[in-house]
Amino acid sequence: MIRANDPHLHSWIQISPNSDFPIQNLPFGIFSTPTRDPRVGVAIGDYILDLYAVCQEGLFDLLSLEDPSVFHAETLNPFISLGKPMWREVRERVSELLRNNNAEIRDNHEVMKACLVKCQEATMHLPVKIGNYTDFYSSLEHATNVGLMFRNPESPLLPNWKHLPVGYHGRASSIVASGHPVFRPQGQTKAADTELPIFGPTRELDFELEVAFITGRATDLGSYVMTDEAEDYIFGLVLFNDWSARDIQRWEYVPLGPFLGKSFVSTISPWVVTLDALEPFRVPGPTQEPPVLPYLEYEGYKHLDINLKVYLQPDGEDPALISQSNTRHLYWNMNQQLAHQTSNGCNLEVGDLYASGTISGSEPGSYGSMLELTWQGSKPLTLPNGATRTFLEDGDTVIFKGYAERNGIRVGFGEVRNKILPTL
């Protein structure tokens, strides 16, 4: 067992049992306050531990860390580029400092004041500089639903789907953090009963419920990552909303796939939950039939049990839970995705982001998009206030939450929350 994951650990910081950030989690992010410029922090309960301040107080002096300035940075990239042994060493030391039997911060008021910040006083930022972004299509249920709607109901999956993790390269520059407004995109659309397209705001704005992993290790062009070594390259995971304009996407995607219907914005949660923290929540994946090719074979439990929830909040109303799903529903796992991404020799970079694709379960209440929840708008969704939705409207806020829970320990992601505003 990774020592920092011990379920018997408790912190001297008072933490609610329902908190996403117990001492067994310790996710990394970038925060600032009016008196602190952007820097690396770790979430613990309702507080943030300022890792640069921890360094300045000499509390990291015994680590093999050569340059503490990696924690006084606007992104996590300098820190995560140090590699998995250093990620683990820092997380373990942070865990030690926060344990209820450790007095180094707890019993020194000035040190505590320097190192601890209330979450409500901080502004969170995009955690990494994302150089490259790949979006996969890894949920069998989602792919099947889309095939039933748009292709042959007798054979909804494309011939390649069960042989490789389908994906495409997305736009990294338009990935933003939770809290950023989402402006309704405009583009070309064409109705089925018209001869020519028109240009204007999308009428079919949608969310896609996803998770994404971030790489912390680079590779050389021409090299490969095998499934059994993929986890040495994965720093951690975030919640991911792959916003989509379905009418723009439908008109443009043939023959080269998604473009402007996707690239207008994607949003992520600000805290990166390390793969180590999710170790206790591994589960077996689905049986893959037909058998995959040798480079996609893997051993052990490589899937994760992460509960996911989607809330829709109309302007001036309370949030309404509209979907509950789980990463168990993914057919392809991260190890296979990374092995496939590099199978042609494509190189990885620190800070690359790889999204799962929409995560849907087998029941309508577990679908991960409005496209599926309303079955392409044919079955409007009724909200608690009596309003209906086929797709998202201006003023709506979409909120994703996610957490893994087992044996009384909850390791969560916080949330990704964004409000839709009219076209600029």
Mean pLDDT of 178-199: 97
Q: Under CATH, domain 133-421 is a member of which superfamily?
A: Fumarylacetoacetase-like, C-terminal domain (3.90.850.10)
Spatial neighbors of 222 by CB under 8 A, at least 6 apart, are 345, 347
Mean pLDDT of 116-129: 98
Residue 299, annotated ligand binder? no
The per-residue pLDDT for range 35-62, each reduced to its tens digit, is 999 999 999 999 999 999 999 999 999 9
> Could you say which architecture CATH assigns to the domain 3-123?
Roll (2.30)
Residue 249, annotated ligand binder? yes
Which residue's entry shows tokens 């373990």? 92
Statement: residue 72 has pLDDT above 90? yes
- % residues pLDDT > 70 (the chain): 100
Contact in structure between 314 and 359 (CB atoms under 8 Å): no
Q: What is the pLDDT of residue 302?
A: 98
H runs (alpha helix) in 299-388 = 334-341, 370-373
- Residue burial 335-361, b: 16+ Cβ < 10 Å; e: rest: bbbbbbbbeeebebebbbbbbbbbbbb
The per-residue pLDDT for range 162-172, each reduced to its tens digit, is 999 999 999 99
Cα 384 to Cα 317, 320, 398, 417: the distances in Å are: 9, 7, 15, 20
pLDDT mean across residues, the chain:
98
DSSP assignment of 344-369, as one string?
Answer: T-PPP-TT-EEE------SSGGG-SB
Q: Look up residue 127 and give its two tokens.
A: 């955690």
142 is catalytic: yes
The per-residue pLDDT for range 365-391, each reduced to its tens digit, is 999 999 999 999 999 999 999 999 999
Residue 379, annotated ligand binder? no
Q: What is the pLDDT of residue 287?
A: 96
Residue 195, annotated ligand binder? no
Residue 151, annotated ligand binder? yes
Considering 142, 303, 329, 340, which one is annotated as catalytic? 142
What is this structure's pTM?
Answer: 0.97
Q: What is the DSSP letter of 127?
A: S
Longest dimension (CA), the chain: 74
- Confidence band for 1, pLDDT divided at 50, 70 and 90: confident
Domain ranges of the chain: 3-123, 133-421
Residue 262, annotated ligand binder? yes
Q: What is the pLDDT of residue 107?
A: 98
Statement: residue 93 has pLDDT above 90? yes
Q: What is the pLDDT of residue 152?
A: 85
- Of 412, 420, 424, 286, the closest CA to residue 18 belongs to 412
